[in-house]
Structure 1
Amino acid sequence: MATSAVMSEVEETLQRIKSHKGVEGIIIMTQEGSILQSTLTEEQSKQHGALISSLTEKASLMISTLDPDDKLSFLRVRSQKKEIMIAPDNDFLMMVIQNPNVVE
């Protein structure tokens, strides 16, 4: 019963984020790169998931190397056409892909 309530809350959160102008996709995945939830196609999810998992791991290693008492809490990568925001947690990470040129 609690699991369906949690899943419902996750779905509501995904829909709320997805409703923001410019948001093109959301992925929730394990730290190892397994996709748990995504609003993208399976192919897009796998491609983004593999690359972002690697990037997040390297960024996290960099932070802990510079300061062993610190931990990566958020990562934002922006290009001319896309912005990817990554929020890692102990077991999972959430990624939001958006078009930064869309005006609210």
Structure 2
Amino acid sequence: MRLAKVLGQVVSTIKGPGLERFTLLLVQEAAADDPERDGGPTLVAVDTVGAGVGEIVLVVTGGAARVAAGADVPTDLAVVGIADTVVRSGTVSYQKT
């Protein structure tokens, strides 16, 4: 699993089979030392938990993403959790407000 920040949504009125039931989110991998800071590429993920813009989320890739979304969904990135708190080396580096 990785941490990412939700930047927005991707609206697609025509989706492949299995994707119709999901919202697509624009996410950016978070920096390891500060989850609210940009850390990586911007990607599109299938949202399985109802995450919103600005939230720090847990994402999975590959086979784990397909399992999270359902085996029939053609995805390689899925949001599977919303972070409340991130603690690194005993220090809180993120706290959901």
Higher helix share: 1
Normalising by structure 1, report the TM-score.
Answer: 0.24
Normalising by structure 2, report the TM-score.
Answer: 0.25
Higher strand share: 2
Greater Cα radius of gyration, structure 1 or 2: 1
